[in-house]
Amino acid sequence: MDNQELYQKIDEIIRAHDDDKPIVAILQDIQEEYRYLPREAFDYLSKKLGVSLAKIYSIATFYENFSLSPKGKYVIKICDGTACHVRKSIPILEALRKELGLSSEKSTTDDLMYTVETVSCLGACGLAPVLTVNDKVHPAMTPEKAIELLSELK
Amino acid sequence: MNTMNNKKFMMIDGLPVAIEGEKNILDVIRKAGIELPTLCYYSVLSTYGACRMCVVEGKHGEIMASCSTPPRSGMEIKTNTPRLQKYRRMVLELMLADHCRDCTTCDKNFDCKLQDLAQRFGLKDVRFEPYSIWDDKDESSLAITRDPNKCIICGDCVRMCSEIQNVGAIDFAFRGSKMEVTTAFKMPISETNCVNCGQCAAICPTGAITVKNDTRSLWEDLYDDNTTVVAQIAPAVRVALGDEFDIPRGTNVMGKIVAALRRMGFDEVYDTATGADLTVIEEAREFIEHLENDGTLPLFTSCCPAWFRYAEINHPELYDNISSCKSPMEMLGSVLKERAKVNETGKKPKKTKVVAIMPCTAKKFEIHRDEFQYDGEPTVAHSITTIELANMIREAGLRFEEILPEAVDMPFGIASGSGMIFGVTGGVTEAVIRYVMGSAARDHLADISFTGVRGFDGLKEVKIPYKEDRELSIAIVSGLKNAENLIQAMQAGEVHYDFVEVMACEGGCIAGAGQPFVIGRAKPERSEGMYEADRLSNVKLSAENPVAEGLYANLLAGDKAHHLLHYK
């Protein structure tokens, strides 16, 4: 990644926020842009915000939503909230993992095409079991439908 | 209660105790003589409320952490109930479950708050399995070792590092049962902005962060017949070592240290305060030169290695402002090495190794810096802390209490009072003021001591007249957060100083991380011990130290003074 471009982007993001420099919001915006928090962003942010590197790392690792490693082009989030869970979300998760060669430790494919992760509740319990692909909601899923969805994405 | 006038009271275990501005009930309880246990509470740090050891029970059976509950008039609490006992024991048991319990080989054995509390509450059995597998020790730093297996996540080190030292090299990472204290991206600590001040190790209640132990290689040199081992003892060590041997706080045990070192096999023993005299002379000369020739001002002191590292990392723009003088330890080290070289005889001369006994952990880093090498080797071969010295004395089986005091060796056996007070915040400044005033200072020692140089305020400001028409503005800071605030104000143009003394540890070297624990305990006694050493010295001014005079006439003649005593 071109660091200069990254730094410019971070400058823009910081400028877009007001003077109190909200770290979490700034990290969210960076993640929005790059789908994860690049390592290089931390050093630059630390200097820009006057906050120690360890503190930013602390915040970034505290929240499940932040990712320190690059995510796939398609981020698939399988809801495992109560409603989805009882309507069998886990087999969907397992099917997708098996198909893509992923596990609970490894959530992104090596070609950076797919990331598979769970979320606690998407608030769409009426559509359970539900998953999202890059924030687009896919209702009433089954393992078969999920695999089919994968081939559509390709 | 009517006889108690307008005073505010609360009931602690059925007894009335006055509330006198305490910010939490913990302080009120301790004032009442009850030693409520805590692992994460220090009045100098922000309140965290994590360890839950200080819990108390209210009138209606509610359990609250006393460290984070403000006192109210009429409050009724109990500090010892069956519920509280059960609660505290459970918390301790859970902490111990996930704690490496190899106490016998731990550096903090017998000096561990967790071990203390486990003893105190009679914990004999831990019913739970450990629930986390942590990383290996981080041995990358020359000053400290981190062992995550002994961390109880109290966060004392995190708050010390960021709130007092403004460094923030370590912080919490992850959450819940995976939470740990670590560096950013789990980097080795030596690759972070850590300045080696060691205050994290000083405040750590367990062995999760400890000071590096360098005594093994030192013993080897002591046992080696082909090595002459020369010791130098820093000023602050002599008023703190006694703490380890039940000698009253602040007692100056210099003579006993000298005797003990000789028993252990040191060939020569000197006083770093003699090196401090050289520092005063060199630094004051440099200061006057900056003043007279429109040099860069303010001049910052350079003798504290943690501050030096902090400035190097965070304020490279101040490079020209920082004194070119080596620290007293390095100055005396250079002199000792140079003398050994000049006096070398025979084909295979004995090797001379200088050992520094320091209140400091950052000195362990300093001796390995490129600036402080002599003939390709560290000028000072070993830097050990006061606590390491105490351990060596015990290891040698010496009864320190019974050792008769002895004097340091000639030809460097004299140090001035100015050199002694280097060990306490404001000491360097006081010594430099004495130098700048010249011989007139001798009649004004008391006046100088009352200018504001003494005491434990984080920022002290002093104004002294210079020549007819000028007033010098001097600042003294200790604690790197205080230093940072000063630099910010200075760079914003809000303040102007001619001379700034910085000590990384709050209170100066007497509160160094190599010393027996000091926070909330021994600072006033140790500082008084330093000033007493000054009062008892027959030479008050560094420039009048005959050892210094002799050195400048011989060993340091010509440009050798600059070569040996400055790093720039």
Q: The CATH number of the domain where A149 resides is what?
A: 3.40.30.10
- Check whether residue A78 and residue A149 sit in a common domain: yes
Residue B542 reports pLDDT greater than 80: yes
pTM, two decimal places:
0.91
Interface membership of A52 toward B (CB under 8 Å): yes
Contact B32, B12 (CB under 8 A): yes
DSSP string, B30-83: HHTT-----SS--TTS-----S-TTEEEETTS-EEEGGG----TT-EEES--HH
Lowest-confidence region among B96-100, B388-392, B444-448: B444-448
In chain A the first and final C-alpha atoms are separated, in Å, by 25
Kindly identify which residue of chain B lies nearest to residue A43, measuring between CA atoms.
B184
Report the pLDDT averaged over residues B270-286. 95
Contact B41, B67 (CB under 8 A): yes
- Check whether residue A93 and residue A36 sit in a common domain: no
In chain B the first and final C-alpha atoms are separated, in Å, by 69
Cβ distance of B174 and A62 shorter than 8 Å = yes
Lowest-confidence region among B223-232, B358-367, B411-420: B411-420
The ipTM is: 0.89
DSSP string, B111-180: S-HHHHHHHHTT-----SPP---PPPPB---SSEEE-GGG-----HHHHIIIIITS---EEEES-GGG-E
The pLDDT assigned to B2 comes to 46
Contact B512, B360 (CB under 8 A): yes
Cβ distance of A57 and B174 shorter than 8 Å = no
Instruction: List all residues of chain B from 159 to 218 with a beta carbon under 8 Å from chain A.
Output: 162, 167-175, 182-185, 192-193
Distance, in Å, from the CA atom of B100 to the CA atom of B39, rounded to the nearest integer, reads: 17
Which residues, at least 6 apart from B186, have a Cβ–Cβ distance to it below 8 Å?
B135, B173
Kindly identify which residue of chain B lies nearest to residue A52, measuring between CA atoms.
B168
Task: Answer whether residue A67 is part of any domain.
Answer: no
Cβ distance of A61 and B175 shorter than 8 Å = yes
The pLDDT assigned to A1 comes to 59
Task: Answer whether residue A120 is part of any domain.
Answer: yes
Q: Using alpha carbons, list the distances in angstroms from residue B277 to A2, B235, B420.
A: 53, 12, 9
Residue B296 reports pLDDT greater than 80: yes
Cβ distance of A54 and B182 shorter than 8 Å = yes
Fold agreement between B2-80 and B216-565: no
Task: Answer whether residue A68 is part of any domain.
Answer: no
The pLDDT assigned to B5 comes to 60
**β-strands A136-138, B9-12: how paired?**
unpaired
Q: If you count residue pairs, one on A and one on B, with CB atoms under 8 Å apart, how many are there?
A: 43
Number of domains composing chain A: 2
The pLDDT assigned to B444 comes to 85
In the listed set A39, A62, A85, which residue is the last one of a domain according to the structure?
A: A62
Residue A97 reports pLDDT greater than 80: yes
Q: Which of B162, B173, B175 has its CB closest to that of A57? A: B173
Q: pLDDT per residue over B454-489, tens digit each?
A: 999 999 999 988 888 889 999 999 999 999 999 999
- Average pLDDT in chain B: 93
The structure tokens listed for A39 are: 């390592």
Distance, in Å, from the CA atom of B317 to the CA atom of B298, rounded to the nearest integer, reads: 13
What CATH code would you report for B216-565?
3.40.50.1780
The pLDDT assigned to B4 comes to 52
Report the pLDDT averaged over residues B123-135. 84
Report the pLDDT averaged over residues B288-295. 91
Interface membership of A61 toward B (CB under 8 Å): yes
- Check whether residue A38 and residue A87 sit in a common domain: no
Q: Which is nearest to B200 in space by CA: B150, B141, B160?
A: B160
The pLDDT assigned to B437 comes to 85
**Burial level of A93, CB count in 10 A (0-12/13-18/19+)?**
buried
B283 is catalytic: yes
Task: Answer whether residue A69 is part of any domain.
Answer: no
B76 is catalytic: no
Interface membership of A36 toward B (CB under 8 Å): no
Report the pLDDT averaged over residues B296-310. 96
Which residues, at least 6 apart from B415, have a Cβ–Cβ distance to it below 8 Å?
B271, B273, B274, B276, B277, B537, B539, B545, B547
**Sole residue written with tokens 């020790």:** B137
Q: Which residues of B touch A52 (CB under 8 A)?
A: 162, 167-169, 171, 184, 193
Which residues, at least 6 apart from B556, have a Cβ–Cβ distance to it below 8 Å?
B335, B564, B565
User: CA quadruple B385, B566, B491, B424: dihedral positive or negative?
Assistant: positive
Residue B1 reports pLDDT greater than 90: no
Interface membership of A24 toward B (CB under 8 Å): no
Report the pLDDT averaged over residues B359-364. 98
Q: What percent of chain B has pLDDT over 70?
A: 99
Phi-psi region of B426 (alpha: psi -120 to 50; beta: other; left: phi over 0): left
Interface membership of A65 toward B (CB under 8 Å): no
* Active-site choice (B509, B525, B527, B540): B509
Q: pLDDT per residue over A13-38, tens digit each?
A: 999 987 778 999 999 999 989 989 99
Distance, in Å, from the CA atom of B121 to the CA atom of B137, rounded to the nearest integer, reads: 29
**Sole residue written with tokens 């359970």:** A128
What CATH code would you report for B2-80?
3.10.20.740
Q: Which residues of A touch B170 (CB under 8 A)?
A: 54
Q: Rounded to a whole number, what is the distance in Å from the CA of A145 to chain B's nearest CA?
A: 35
Q: What percent of chain A has pLDDT over 70?
A: 99
Residue B370 reports pLDDT greater than 90: yes
* Active-site choice (B100, B157, B303, B505): B303
The pLDDT assigned to B395 comes to 96
Kindly identify which residue of chain B lies nearest to residue A66, measuring between CA atoms.
B174
Report the pLDDT averaged over residues B364-381. 96
The structure tokens listed for B536 are: 């008892």
Domain carrying residue A27:
3-62
Spelled out in words, what is the top-level CATH class assigned to the domain B92-211?
alpha beta
- Domain parsing of chain B, residue ranges: 2-80, 92-211, 216-565
The structure tokens listed for B271 are: 């006083």
Which residues, at least 6 apart from B417, have a Cβ–Cβ distance to it below 8 Å?
B533, B534, B535, B536, B537, B539, B540
Q: Rounded to a whole number, what is the distance in Å from the CA of B465 to chain A's nearest CA?
A: 38
The pLDDT assigned to B411 comes to 86
Lowest-confidence region among A90-94, B132-136, B329-333: B132-136
Distance, in Å, from the CA atom of B356 to the CA atom of B60, rounded to the nearest integer, reads: 58
- Check whether residue A56 and residue A118 sit in a common domain: no
Which residues, at least 6 apart from B221, have a Cβ–Cβ distance to it below 8 Å?
B227, B229, B353, B355, B381, B382
Q: Which residues of A touch B167 (CB under 8 A)?
A: 52
